[in-house]
């Protein structure tokens, strides 16, 4: 059964073919412009799910990397503060040993007490060190100054330190808080802070006692309990420095592993969504030639009308 072909039918079919060719041309142009094979789920429904999963993993990896960098920066600031505290304590130990010398005059021992008091003030400044806008050694209350100095003369900032108060939180795992944590890998968290009371309270207790014994000339205390208590406080500080160093080493290993994993995920994502530039350019050129040819053929087919023959 034959059917009648009209100019309108020919025009409509030509336009449909041109639109189809334009869509293919736009498809290859879009891939070449973006460098990706998949821009919409309809481009490849099968690979879209894989591409989305890889993108999610990449974003998670980026967040883990940021967490690791934040924790590293905090721990490096902590180590720098503890390093300064170690240097101060080394000088304090020299003063204790020197102050226990029975040949010293009272004036010389008072001078040692004055220097010891300055070292205590310096250590309080270390204990109140801030990282950005947060205090390193305040536990959970990072916006609250952890240590408050109690002076013999509250009107004189350089007055001898007679005590202190700790306003930070303490390590209380039974209460559900065991430190500031960040997730550094899926299901893997790390506590990146240490508690100021664990580190500095033993130090302040012994140094305040040492200063008082220097003022009063208590040689037996200086060469006995003071030196022993000081060495215990120093060992405690060194243990915490070792703990901080161990966490830094762990984070650096995790960061290296995350970085390598990101490279692998980006490679997989490129294989799923990426394009072969040479192939896309070839297909784009072919489709461009097809489109030009279709335009030329359409112009010749549709141009004649009945009026062209009415002469």
Asked, for residue 148, whether it belongs to a domain, the answer is yes
Structural domain contains residue 162: yes
DSSP codes, 147-163: EEEEESSTT-TTSPEEE
What are phi and psi for residue 166, nearest 5 degrees?
A: -105, 120
DSSP category for residue 173? G
Dihedral angle, C-alpha 58, 59, 62, 67, nearest 10 °: -130
Residue 255 is part of a domain; what is its CATH number?
Answer: 1.20.1330.10
Query: Which residues lie below 8 Å from residue 192, measured CB to CB, with a gap of 6+?
Result: 70, 71, 74, 75, 179, 180, 181, 182, 247
198 part of a folded domain: yes
pLDDT of residue 19: 75
Q: Report pLDDT for 77.
A: 96
* Domain membership flag for residue 163: yes
Q: What pLDDT, on the 0 to 100 scale, is given for residue 156?
A: 87
* Within a domain: 1: no
Cross-strand partners of 131 = 134
Domain-embedded: residue 183: yes
pLDDT at 104: 85
Report pTM: 0.77
User: For residue 252, is it within any domain?
Assistant: yes
Distance from C-alpha of 60 to C-alpha of 14, rounded to nearest angstrom: 49
Residue 107 tokens, joined = 């004036």
Domain that holds residue 99: 53-267
Cα–Cα distance measured from residue 75 to residue 78, given in angstroms and rounded to the nearest whole number: 5
Domains contained in the chain, number:
1
Note down pLDDT in tens along the chain; length 311 residues: 555 666 667 667 767 767 776 777 666 677 666 666 666 565 566 666 777 888 889 999 999 999 999 999 999 999 999 999 999 999 999 998 988 888 888 899 999 999 999 999 999 999 999 999 999 999 888 999 999 999 988 888 888 999 999 999 888 765 556 788 999 988 889 999 999 999 999 999 999 999 999 988 888 888 888 899 999 999 999 999 999 999 999 999 999 999 999 999 888 877 776 665 666 677 767 777 776 776 776 666 665 555 555 55
Determine, yes or no, domain membership for 32: no
């Amino acid at each position: 059964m034959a059917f009648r072909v009209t100019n309108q039918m020919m025009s409509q079919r030509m336009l449909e073919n041109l639109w189809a060719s334009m869509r293919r041309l736009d498809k290859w142009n879009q891939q070449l412009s973006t460098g990706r094979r998949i821009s919409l789920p309809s481009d490849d429904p099968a690979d879209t799910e894989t591409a989305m999963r890889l993108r999610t993993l990449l974003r998670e990896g980026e967040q883990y990397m940021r967490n690791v960098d934040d924790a590293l920066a905090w721990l490096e600031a902590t180590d720098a503060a503890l390093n300064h505290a170690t240097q101060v304590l080394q000088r304090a130990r020299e003063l204790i040993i020197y102050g226990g010398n029975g040949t010293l005059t009272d004036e010389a021992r008072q001078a040692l007490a004055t220097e010891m008091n300055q070292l205590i003030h310096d250590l309080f400044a270390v204990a109140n060190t801030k990282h950005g806008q947060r205090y390193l050694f305040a536990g959970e209350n990072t916006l609250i100054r952890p240590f408050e100095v109690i002076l013999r003369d509250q009107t004189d900032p350089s007055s001898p330190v007679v005590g202190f108060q700790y306003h930070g939180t303490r390590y209380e795992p039974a209460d559900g808080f065991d430190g500031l944590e960040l997730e550094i890998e899926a299901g893997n968290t790390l506590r990146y802070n240490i508690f100021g009371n664990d580190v500095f309270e033993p130090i302040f207790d012994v140094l305040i006692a040492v200063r008082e014994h220097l003022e009063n000339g208590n040689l037996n205390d200086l060469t006995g309990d003071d030196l022993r208590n000081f060495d215990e406080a120093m060992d405690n500080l060194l243990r915490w420095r070792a703990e901080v160093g161990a966490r830094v080493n762990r984070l650096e290993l995790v960061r290296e592993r995350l970085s390598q994993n990101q490279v692998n995920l980006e490679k997989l994502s490129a294989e799923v969504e990426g394009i072969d530039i040479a192939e896309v350019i070839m297909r784009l050129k072919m489709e461009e030639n097809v489109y030009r040819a279709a335009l030329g053929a359409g112009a010749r087919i549709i141009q004649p009308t009945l009026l062209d023959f009415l002469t």
